[in-house]
Amino acid sequence: MAEEILEFLVIGFVLGGIYALFAVGITLIFGVLDVINVAHGEFFTLGGYTAFVTIVALNLPPAASLPLALAVTFVLGLAVYPGLISPLQERLGRRASGPLFLVLTLGLSTVMQNTMLAIAGGEYLTVPPLVRGSVDLKFTFVSNQRVIIFVVAVTALVALFLFLRWHRQGAAIRAVMQNPDAAQAVGIPLPAIFTLTIGLGCGLAGLGGALIAPLFNVYPAVGFSLTLKAFAITILGGLGNVLGALIASFVISNVEALSVLVIPSEWSNAIAFGLMILVLLVRPQGLLGRRRP
């Protein structure tokens, strides 16, 4: 039993790394722009397709797929603010946006998902792992791909946190999160920070998509289901709370992994949503969140 639990915990932590790459981006974008990016999953999918193109179509070294996926989704993410969010913000001025940004990014998600479907077709594409083989942990074998996923995800997240903590731009992002008006008053260019934040968030999602591509297959809707789950994770961690999202990612992934021991696996997808609704009812600010004024 103990070995089984350890085995599922390993699976949970690897999955948690992917969830975290994804959910941290969503919550960062929400914290800075007050926009929930419904199209986040499509950047994840795009990362997966980039990995497929790099490794299978272009025959480049597999390791190149990760920086390429990060770069492609980062650059495309940079276009989201000036191309879509900013025009709508300008039109709205100071009026309440209501659901409009959700509808906007939902539209972007629909366009991206079906464009990928039009180009790549609906087949499940398989991507070979970066390194074959596995590691013997005595109680279980862990494939090298899973080890890579965990290490790269943790490295990327640590890098992000260091960037936010120590870098000038990172500090500017945190300043905008705390108070956009005050940030602007001390000379931080809001549009540049908005653009960079969405780029970063989408880049992390793309990296996640490329990492997990060898484990799951790549298909146009692969990211959207993750978007739904990531919403549950971000709520659990407190909307706009980056550290909360990180912790909640690992909580949800491990609960899901361990739940297989107790309930039928087809219900494990319901756990995240059930927890989300429970948290919203009992503690709407999230596990670590503070009440918003």
Partner 1 sequence: MKVTGRRFAIVLLAALAAALPLAISHPFLLHIATQALIWALLATSWDLLSGHTGQISFGHAGFFAIGAYAAAIASARLGVSSWAGMGFACATTALVGLIVGFPALRLRGHYLALVTLGFGEIVGLVATNWQDLTGGPFGLHDYGTFSGLPVDLMAQRQISYLIVLAVSVATMLLLWWLCRRTDAGPAFHAIREDPILAESLGIDTTSYKLLAFTLSAAAAGLSGSLYAYYIQLVSPTIGSAGNSALVIGMAVFGGIGTTWGPFVGALLLYGLIELLRFVGVVYNLIAVGLVMVVFVIFVPRGLAGLRLNPQRRKLRADALRRQGG
Q: How far apart are CA 78 and CA 200, in angstroms?
A: 8
Helices (H) and strands (E) in the chain, counts: 13, 2
224 belongs to the binding site for partner 1 (CB under 8 A): yes
Among the residue ranges 7-15, 143-151, 203-211, 261-269, the one whose residues contact partner 1 (CB under 8 A): 261-269
Instruction: Please identify which residue in 107, 133, 189, 191 interacts with partner 1, judged by CB under 8 A.
Output: 107
- Give the single-character DSSP code of 210: H
Among the residue ranges 11-19, 110-118, 125-133, 160-168, the one whose residues contact partner 1 (CB under 8 A): 110-118
- Least separation in angstroms between residue 235's CB and partner 1 is 6
Q: How far apart are CA 166 and CA 149, in angstroms?
A: 25
Largest Cα–Cα distance in the chain? 60
CA 253 vs CA 19, 125, 149, 174, 256: distances in Å: 7, 24, 14, 27, 5
125 belongs to the binding site for partner 1 (CB under 8 A): no
Instruction: Please identify which residue in 78, 147, 280, 287 interacts with partner 1, judged by CB under 8 A.
Output: 280
Among the residue ranges 1-9, 143-151, 206-214, 264-272, the one whose residues contact partner 1 (CB under 8 A): 264-272
Contacts of partner 1 in 148-167 (CB under 8 A): none
Nearer of residues 61 and 264 to partner 1, judged by Cβ: 264
Nearer of residues 30 and 219 to partner 1, judged by Cβ: 30
Question: Is the distance from CB of 249 to CB of 19 less than 8 angstroms?
Answer: yes
Which candidate, 131, 95, 112, 117, places its Cα nearest to that of 37? 112
Question: Is the distance from CB of 253 to CB of 233 less than 8 angstroms?
Answer: no
Q: How far apart are CA 45 and CA 208, in angstroms?
A: 9
Nearer of residues 102 and 131 to partner 1, judged by Cβ: 102
235 belongs to the binding site for partner 1 (CB under 8 A): yes
Binding site for partner 1 (CB under 8 A): 30, 36, 84, 87-88, 91, 98-100, 102-104, 106-115, 117-118, 224, 228, 231-232, 235, 239, 264, 266-267, 269-270, 273-274, 276-277, 280-281, 284
